[in-house]
């Protein structure tokens, strides 16, 4: 805190110092997070291979497909059994070398790690993107916007709605509305997909007004406007499901939070001074609580990335979650690892943004005592 | 322990806590009842399907749903030859039997299926049986004759020749009022299936069970494999409770001990724990569970292990750390150190009990999230291969397009139980939160 009085004297220098500290902080956090991602991704690779069990599975698969191919090929019909076996063996060997299954797993895992970090996720073994690319990177990139669209929309909606409703409720603490919203909080024990099933049941089967799944109509409508309208119709139910499952619990926690903070002495003081309640809310309640608000927003994001898989599956939404599920069905290891890596990256980016926001909001980081 | 007991006493003031507790007690009671009446082995055996369920209808609604909707759909009727008046006359080297299987049918809808199960005790020569169907108004239909193996199943509903003759599926045609109505009406009254058996051995005995499958069954209905959903709904309770409780205990206790150890030892131990937590936050839990489920095993206990392993270094460590840091500096810890208490004693006996009250609400609200996690995995098709659980019922329903076919009960009953469990624990948890969180109480 020694430098703060000097900073007050010359704001420009203070700003520069803040910037320098912020940059330093950012670089430090980036380095730490990079290490974290490194370890996380490596663990993922280890789990995905679990001591080479998957490799054995793939070996068996290679052997059977190669044997099948050679037996079915008329060009090899007049080979003697020995020659044919030799041919099969040679081809298996080629495939093993192509997939580098002949090297010990530890060597390969470091290689996988290196590639994963560079986002060079390799080629899928069975799957391909809708445009026909075999690169895992493209398969994932194609699905990413769908996930981001759905979950971005739902999260922003829940976040802003809950903060504003909670502020309103904390003002009317103890009213009938307040009590009924709080009584609904336990309903958030169920995840989004659970509400999704009910919404599908009601709005797609009992009163068929909305589509039960998918992202746009089949075939996709011509024209941007019609496309957007169709997209919106398909998004309505999954977003509603996520909204329903999280809104009451987040209102509840925000309301408690605001209540605690609006009973602080400095807020009472502001009230005693006769400041308008809007101003009290903005300056005395919201401002000091901003960093916890943002933390919880980011933590919610982190939680929802995982929830994505099942919600997408239930609504047949062509995003990352559905992709992971399909990849698992095909036992396509590169795609599985790729998806998990991307999930890890998304989480890391969330954590990083959270840190930066923290630094911007928390004066302690700027003055270097944090 | 005093604040704990005080808090529990204060809990009585919250109606939601009492409702939550009532739900939880009801669930635990039902779970105990289930485990006692349907032992584990028997439950697995039943849920495997097949033979035990052959006399149950396929996809039958629960009876009460049907009656509330104002319908009078048929229940399953089983007519056994053991209750029938058998006329028997023997001849040299064999006997002739007439077995009339009679039953009253007075429902508003047709049965869903018609099967005849026959057993015979012959040794070498197969007996011969001829089937005649007689309606209340006296019409007769010959259902053909056949030789009997030791166990025979006559699927009358799948008799194509009969269907062609009747112009309708047999289980409708045999029960319909005469005429070519497009919407056939059920003919009320007493039906009779007569079995004329000729056996070629002196003491060969033939038994028959005619099953007129209904469209409703029991309190829970049946699924596509004729299994009574009640088995899964009931057995889902102990499974869900055990999974939720074990996972919640496993994750909170380990997390708490590790957080306390980190705070107490400080230095590199703390640093390592903190870094591991950061790595763990980045590891996506559900994708990893899905990965483990597809690549290794979907056994519920493996899943439980993975959940706990991933939960050890969860984000909760940061929260516990913040709560434990001031405690480490408090005078009573100082005193404990002074009289020579060991590290383990200070951590387990002095630090952890101090934050337990704050933890209880979190712990209780954690349970339903694990219950739903298990259901989520099952819904993805990664449910335990042998255990009947709610999630697996919903998964079956989804793969069989239950909603599309209108079998709403199939989805709604496990969903309602899941919701009930979630609500019970959540209501208790929220009330506990208010009791043990003093800052909330003073307002």
Do B426 and A44 lie within an 8 Å CB cutoff?
Answer: no
Highest mean pLDDT among A108-117, A216-225, A238-247, B43-52: A238-247
| Span B155-187, pLDDT tens digits | 888 888 888 888 888 888 888 888 777 788 888
Q: What is the Cα B152 distance to its own chain's centre?
A: 31
Task: Say yes or no to pLDDT of A274 above 80.
Answer: yes
Average pLDDT (A316-339) is 80
**In the predicted model, what is the mean pLDDT of residues B243-272?**
89
Closest-CA residue to B373 (of B283, B294, B300): B300
Beta strand residue intervals within chain A, DSSP E: none
What mean pLDDT comes out for the span A136-152?
A: 85
CB contact under 8 A, B288 and A260: no
Residues 198-217 of A with CB under 8 A from B: 198, 200-201, 205
Query: Which residues from chain A sit within 8 angstroms of residue B368, using beta carbons?
Result: 189-190
A340-344, B2-6, B206-210, B312-316: which has the minimum mean pLDDT?
Answer: B2-6
Nearest CB neighbour to B380, from listed A186, A313, A347? A313
How close does chain A come to B372, measured CA to CA in Å? 7
Are the Cβ atoms of A44 and B419 closer than 8 angstroms?
Answer: no
Residue A207 has pLDDT above 90, yes or no: no
ipTM of the complex: 0.74
Percent of chain B topping pLDDT 70: 98
Residues facing residue B117 across a β-bridge: B153, B209
Q: What is the β-pairing status of strands B128-134 and B189-199? A: antiparallel
Nearest to B319 by CA among B281, B369, B265: B281
Question: Closest Cα to residue B138, out of B103, B104, B189?
Answer: B189
Whether the model pTM is above 0.90: no
Alpha-carbon distance values, A228 to A86, A221, A231 (Å): 58, 9, 5
CA distance B190 to chain A (A): 38
Alpha-carbon dihedral angle through residues B398, B400, B403, B405, given to the nearest 10 degrees: 180
Whole-number Å distance between alpha carbons of B164 and A2 = 99
pLDDT of residue A3: 43
Q: Which of B379, B365, B315, B320 is nearest to A301 (CA)?
A: B315
pLDDT, tens digit, 9 for 90 and up, residues B316-364: 787 788 778 888 888 888 888 888 888 888 888 888 888 877 778 888 8
Indicate the residue of B287, B365, B411 with minimum beta-carbon distance to A339: B287
In chain A, % of residues over pLDDT 70: 88
Q: How confident is the model at residue A2 (pLDDT cuts 50, 70, 90)?
A: very low
Nearest to B241 by CA among B367, B379, B362: B367
Instruction: Report DSSP state, residue A174.
Output: T
pLDDT at B237: 92
Residue A349 in contact with partner chain B when CB distance is under 8 A: no
pLDDT band per the 50, 70, 90 thresholds, residue B1: low
Nearest Cα residue to B88 out of B198, B222, B234: B198
- Chain B contact set for A40 (CB, 8 A): 279, 282-283
């Amino acid at each position: 805190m020694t430098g703060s009085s000097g900073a007050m004297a010359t704001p420009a220098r203070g700003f520069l110092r803040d910037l320098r500290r912020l940059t330093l902080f950012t670089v430090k956090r980036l380095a730490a997070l990079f290490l974290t991602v490194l370890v996380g991704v490596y663990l993922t690779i280890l789990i995905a291979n679990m001591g080479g069990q998957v490799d054995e599975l793939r070996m068996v698969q290679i052997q059977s497909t190669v044997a099948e191919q050679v037996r079915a090929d008329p060009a090899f019909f007049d080979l003697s059994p020995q020659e044919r076996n030799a041919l099969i063996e040679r081809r298996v060997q080629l495939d093993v070398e192509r997939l580098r299954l002949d090297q010990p797993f530890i060597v390969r895992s470091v290689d996988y790690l290196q590639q994963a970090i560079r986002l060079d996720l390799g080629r899928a073994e069975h799957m391909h993107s809708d445009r026909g690319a075999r690169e895992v990177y493209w398969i994932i990139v194609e699905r990413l916007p769908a996930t981001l669209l759905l979950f971005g929309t739902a999260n922003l909606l829940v976040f802003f709605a809950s903060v504003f409703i909670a502020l309103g409720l904390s003002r009317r603490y103890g009213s009938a509305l307040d009590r009924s919203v709080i009584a609904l909080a336990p309903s958030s024990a169920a995840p989004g997909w659970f509400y999704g099933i009910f919404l599908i049941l009601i709005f797609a089967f009992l009163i068929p007004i909305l589509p039960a799944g998918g992202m746009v109509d089949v075939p996709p409508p011509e024209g941007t406007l019609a496309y957007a309208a169709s997209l919106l119709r398909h998004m309505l139910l999954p977003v509603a499901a996520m909204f329903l499952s999280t809104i009451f619990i987040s209102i509840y926690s925000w309301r408690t939070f605001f209540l605690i903070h609006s009973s602080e002495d400095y807020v009472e003081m502001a009230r005693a001074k006769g400041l308008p309640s809007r101003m009290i809310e903005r300056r005395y309640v919201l401002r000091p609580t901003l960093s916890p608000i943002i933390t919880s927003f980011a933590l919610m994001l982190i939680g929802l990335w995982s929830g994505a898989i099942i919600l997408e599956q239930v609504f047949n939404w062509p995003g990352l979650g559905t992709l992971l599920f399909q990849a698992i069905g095909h036992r396509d290891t590169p795609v599985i690892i790729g998806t998990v890596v991307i999930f890890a990256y998304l989480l890391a980016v969330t954590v990083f943004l959270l840190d930066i926001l923290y630094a911007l909001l928390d004066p302690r980081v700027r003055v270097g005592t944090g | 322990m005093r604040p704990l007991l005080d808090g529990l006493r204060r809990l009585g003031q919250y109606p939601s806590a009492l409702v939550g507790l009532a739900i939880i007690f009801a669930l635990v009671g039902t779970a105990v009842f289930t485990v006692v009446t349907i032992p584990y082995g028997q439950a697995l055996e039943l849920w495997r399907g097949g033979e035990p369920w052959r006399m149950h209808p396929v996809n039958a609604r629960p009876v009460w749903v049907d009656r509330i909707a104002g319908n009078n759909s048929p229940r399953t009727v089983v007519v056994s030859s053991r209750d029938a008046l058998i006329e028997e006359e023997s001849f040299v080297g064999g006997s002739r039997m007439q077995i009339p299987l009679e039953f009253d049918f007075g429902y508003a809808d047709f049965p869903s299926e018609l099967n005849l199960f026959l057993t015979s005790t012959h040794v070498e020569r197969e007996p011969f049986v001829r089937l005649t169907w007689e309606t209340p108004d006296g019409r007769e239909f010959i259902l053909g004759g056949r030789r009997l193996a030791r166990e025979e199943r006559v699927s009358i509903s799948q008799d194509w020749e009969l269907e062609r003759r009747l112009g309708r599926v047999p289980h409708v045609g045999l029960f319909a009022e005469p005429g070519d109505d497009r919407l056939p009406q059920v003919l009320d009254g007493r039906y009779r299936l007569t079995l004329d058996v000729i056996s070629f051995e002196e003491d060969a005995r033939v038994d028959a069970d005619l099953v007129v499958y209904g469209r409703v069954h029991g309190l829970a209905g049946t699924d596509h494999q004729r299994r009574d959903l009640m088995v899964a709904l009931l057995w889902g309770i102990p499974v869900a409770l055990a999974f939720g409780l074990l996972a919640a205990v496993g994750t909170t206790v380990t997390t708490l001990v590790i957080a306390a150890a980190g705070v107490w030892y400080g230095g590199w131990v703390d640093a390592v724990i903190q870094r591991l937590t950061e790595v763990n936050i980045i590891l996506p839990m559900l994708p990893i569970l899905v990965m483990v489920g597809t690549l290794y095993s979907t056994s519920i206990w493996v899943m439980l292990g993975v959940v706990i392993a991933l939960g050890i270094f969860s984000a909760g460590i940061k929260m516990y750390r913040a709560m434990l840091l001031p405690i480490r500096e408090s005078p009573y810890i100082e005193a404990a150190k002074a009289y020579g208490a060991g590290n383990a004693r200070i951590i387990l006996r002095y630090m952890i009990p101090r934050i337990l009250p704050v933890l209880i609400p979190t712990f209780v609200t954690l349970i339903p999230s694990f219950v739903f996690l298990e259901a989520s995995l099952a819904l993805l098709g990664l449910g335990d291969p042998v255990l009947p659980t709610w999630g697996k019922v919903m998964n079956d329903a989804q793969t069989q397009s239950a909603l599309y076919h209108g079998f709403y009960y199939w989805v709604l009953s496990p969903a309602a139980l899941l919701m009930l469990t979630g609500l019970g624990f959540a209501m208790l948890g929220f009330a506990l939160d208010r009791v043990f969180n003093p800052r909330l109480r003073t307002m």
